[in-house]
Amino acid sequence: MTKRERALLTPAALLRRAWWALAAIPLGFLAAMAVGEGVMSAMGYRPGFDNPPLVQDLTIALVALVVFLVAPVLALWWGIRAYRRGRRIAVVPVGVAAVVGLAMTVLSLVTAFQ
């Protein structure tokens, strides 16, 4: 392992990555909206006007959810690693990412079943 690789794995660097991943959550939301509407259009439904059947609606929701959850999962991953290496403040990005990811998962599934 080189000196640069060791420096990238420091607890401070992991904490920075967790915060950057947390800051990227709004971008993930926008990307998930675009992907969800794109998948809906690809299935032949007009976003905002047509109500697809449950199976297609769940497919659209799950694809968009996977795109959205990339940033919270990365924030959790790096935050937990920073916490285990001694950076106790890492519980903040871990907690926020967990709450946001769980809330978006519940909202996506609830709206798919309406």
Mean pLDDT of the chain: 89
Q: Token pair of 38, please? A: 């794109």
31: which residues sit within 8 A by CB, 6+ positions away?
Answer: 67, 68
Half-sphere exposure of 113 (CA within 13 A, CB side): 5
d(CA 61, CA 112): 7
Half-sphere exposure of 21 (CA within 13 A, CB side): 29
Residues 21-57 pLDDT 10s: 999 999 999 999 999 989 988 888 887 777 788 888 8
Kindly report the pTM of this predicted structure: 0.84
Amino acid identity, position 50:
D
